[in-house]
Amino acid sequence: MRVLRLARLCTCVLIAAFAGVKAASAGAWLMPPGEGQIIASTAFSGSTRAFDARGKLIPVPSYDKFELGAYLEYGVNDWLTVIAAPAYDQIKQPPPAASYAGLGESEIGARFGLYHSDNWAFSAQASLRTPGASLNDTLAPSQPKRAGGLDLRLMLGRTFDLAGLPAFAEVQTGYRVYAQNQPGEYRLDLTLGLRPLPQLLGLLQSFSSISKGSGGGFKHGSWHKLQPSLVYDLSPQWSVQLGGFVTVAGVNAGRELGPFAGLWYRF
Q: For 204-256, what is each residue's pLDDT tens digit?
A: 999 999 988 766 667 788 999 999 999 999 999 999 999 999 999 999 888 88
Among 131, 140, 73, residue whose Cα is nearest residue 102: 131
**Distance between CA 121 and CA 159 in Å, rounded?**
9
H or E element: which one contains 10? helix 2-10
pLDDT at 116 over 90: yes
Expressed in percent and rounded to 5, the helix, strand and coil fractions of the chain are: 5, 65, 35
**Distance between CA 257 and CA 242 in Å, rounded?**
14
Max Cα-Cα span within the chain:
56
pLDDT above 70 coverage of the chain, percent = 84
Confidence class for position 145, pLDDT limits 50, 70, 90: confident
Report the amino acid identity of residue 27. Answer: G
Q: Is the dihedral of CA 104, 127, 42, 145 positive or negative?
A: negative
DSSP 9: H
Four-CA torsion 13, 148, 255, 248, nearest 10 degrees? 50
Q: Report the SS3 class of residue 2.
A: helix
Residue ranges covered by each domain of the chain: 2-266
**Distance between CA 228 and CA 246 in Å, rounded?**
9
Per-residue pLDDT at 253: 86
User: What is the mean predicted confidence (pLDDT) over 249-267?
Assistant: 93
CB atoms within 10 A of CB 62: 14
Q: What is the mean pLDDT of the chain?
A: 85
Q: Say if CB 267 and CB 36 are below 8 A apart.
A: yes
Strand partners, 110: 82, 126
Question: First CA to last CA across the chain, in angstroms?
Answer: 18
User: What is the mean predicted confidence (pLDDT) over 168-187?
Assistant: 93
**Tens digit of each residue's pLDDT (9 = 90 or more) over 36-76:** 999 999 999 888 898 998 999 999 888 888 999 999 999 99
CATH topology of domain 2-266: Porin (2.40.160)
Per-residue pLDDT at 169: 97
Question: Which residues lie below 8 Å from residue 24, measured CB to CB, with a gap of 6+?
Answer: 14, 16, 69, 71, 83, 85, 87, 105, 107, 127
Cis before 96? omega within 30: yes
User: What is the mean predicted confidence (pLDDT) over 119-134?
Assistant: 88
Q: Say if CB 261 and CB 241 are below 8 A apart.
A: yes
